[in-house]
Amino acid sequence: MFRPGDHQVDGDWCNFPIPTNIEVGSDTMIDSSSIFKKFFSELPLGLKIGDHVTLQSPALAAEKNAYIEIGDYSFISGATLVAISKIIIGKYVFIAGGVTIVDSDFHPLDPGSRLTDTVAISTIGDKSRRPAFDFSPVIIEDDVWIGFNATILKGVTIGKGSIIQPGAVVSKNIPPGSIVSGNPAEVKAFEHA
């Protein structure tokens, strides 16, 4: 159990303070405050976690204007969520180890701008001089399962009840009830409700 503003999770091996701009539901469990190592959101509410959520060693990396939401009864184990804008995860979502979910490319696509960006983010650079790059929210609807080492890219909505098989790279919207696999991910079947 943990509370916003606590300095440490009981029995935690790590010593990162728990951010004050988060909302946590009842009976939610994390195994370590290490999940906040890269959490830099400065929004009044940067992270909203529902009831009965288990966060087992994920990385929640949020830039200063980012918002992450995790719905009730979801389970995230060893995944990485990286947000500049917004990542929304519904209820009863299972996310396996090695999964990466990002809402941006985190660099410009133009080669010249990418070089400028590389210099700006270097140890001798000036991060305030980074060129602009695209970002778009990721939405994962309720009852979704995402298998080991899958990657969910910017702007994607994964429909309710879908299964993302291990290693899939999802770069476009997935209809509800889909089973997808591959790189790039393709719909292989539909679940019948």
pLDDT tens digit sequence for 115-157: 888 888 889 888 888 888 889 999 999 999 999 999 999 999 9
Give CA–CA dist 88/134, Å, rounded: 18
What is the model's pTM? 0.88
- SS3 of the chain: helix, strand, coil, percent, to 5: 10, 30, 60
Catalytic residue among 7, 52, 107, 192: 107
Q: What is the pLDDT of residues 48-67, one digit of tens each?
A: 999 999 999 999 999 999 99
Does residue 52 carry a catalytic annotation? no
Give CA–CA dist 32/58, Å, rounded: 9
Which two tokens mark 149?
Answer: 């080492």
Task: Name residues whose C-beta falls within 8 Å of residue 110's C-beta, 6 or more positions apart in sequence.
Answer: none
Q: How far is CA 131 from the centre of its chain?
A: 23
CATH of the domain spanning 22-177 = 2.160.10.10
